[in-house]
Amino acid sequence: MGIKTTVAQASEKMEKKRLKVQIYTPTYTCTGYVYCPHRGRLLDVLNGISVGALRVDDKFLPVSEVEMHSPDAKEATVQSIHINKASILFVREIEDGQSRGLGGRVGHKPYPYVEKLAVGVKLYMPSYTLTGQMHCAKGQGVSDVLNSEMRFLPMTNVEICPSAGGSKSGVSFIAVNKGQIISLEELGFEL
């Protein structure tokens, strides 16, 4: 029995990949690594979606090798933390210091293709305004996406603007916690 457990644990570790992410919360920003199933996506981990035999529906997101930055310029480095997913504003995947876009993945995708329309939106969140594209399945609108069961929603071509007047930044993909959205403005065009 002990050997089977060890083999299963080793197999599960091999089926996971390490992603570098930047996580924004109302009180700090941190950069570190999260693990997700080998053929899974960051959104799967955040939304608790099953990929194969793995289910990742924890309320807390484990992050390792973390650099934490607070608005008052305090910095800390910790080996690992667990962040309450409900407190996350949004997350972006980064690679080699650059934001990773949808085109960054190569190879077979375990998901069926679903045609979507990109709709321009402006989101108001605690401490940030996000302007970019929300993706709606054919026949759906923004309200359908907002009322879906997913906790985290994908946005692309996003401009991140801190409310406190810091510098704007642009990223190709982020996962937004819809529970943290104060309001959403449709910009009136489909892309």
- Tokens representing 40 are 């899974």
| pLDDT score, position 139 | 81
Percent of the chain with pLDDT over 90: 47
pLDDT at 106 over 50: no
**Band of the pLDDT at 129, cuts 50, 70, 90?**
very high
DSSP string, 102-125: GGG--S--SS----EEEEEEEEEE
DSSP string, 39-71: T--HHHHHHT--BTTB----SEEEEEEEEEE-T
pLDDT at 169 over 70: yes
- Tokens representing 32 are 């570190």
- Looking at domain 2-101+115-190, its CATH class is mainly beta
pLDDT (tens digit per residue) in 5-63: 444 444 444 467 889 999 999 989 999 999 887 667 888 889 887 655 445 567 899 99
pTM of the model: 0.78
Question: What are the residue boundaries of the structural domains of the chain, listed by start?
Answer: 2-101+115-190
| Residues facing 118 on adjacent strands | 135
Backbone angles phi, psi at 142, to 5 degrees: -60, -40
Backbone angles phi, psi at 50, to 5 degrees: -75, 140
